[in-house]
Structure 1
Amino acid sequence: MCGMPQQPPVRSTPAGPARPDASMSLLTNVMDHSLDDGYAEAAARRRADGAGGLPKTLRAKLGLAAGLVLAALVVTVGAAQARVAAPVVAKEREELIDRIDEQTEVADELEESIDELRADVGAQQREALERNGGSDGSDLVGILAGAVAVRGPGVRLVVDDAKGAGAGGDGNPRGTSGFADTGRVRDRDMQRVVNGLWASEAEAISINGQRLTALSAIRAAGDAILVDNRPLVPPYTVLAVGDGTGLRNRFRESPDGLYLDALRESYGIRTSLSVEDELELAAAPSVIVRTAQPKTEKGTS
Structure 2
Amino acid sequence: MADRGAGTRERPPSGAPLPEHVTTPLLTLITARSMDEDYAHVARKRAEAGEAPASAGRPHWASVVAVVALGVMAAVVAAQTDREAGVNELSRAALVERIDAQNDRVADLQHDVGQLTRANRDVASSSTTVQGQLDGIAARVDRAELTTGFAPVRGPGVRITVDNREGVDVNNEIRDEDLATLVDGLWAAGAEAVAINDQRINALGGIRNTGRAVHVNGRPVLAPYVVQAIGDPRSLQARLLGTSEGKAWFLLVEGLDMVYRAENVDDMRLPAAPERPLRDAIELNADPEGVPEGEGSAP
Which TM-score band (shorter chain)?
A: 0.3 to 0.5
- The normalised TM-score by structure 1 is 0.47
Higher relative contact order structure (alpha carbons within 8 Å, sequence separation ≥ 6): 1
Structure having the higher helix fraction is 2
- The normalised TM-score by structure 2 is 0.47
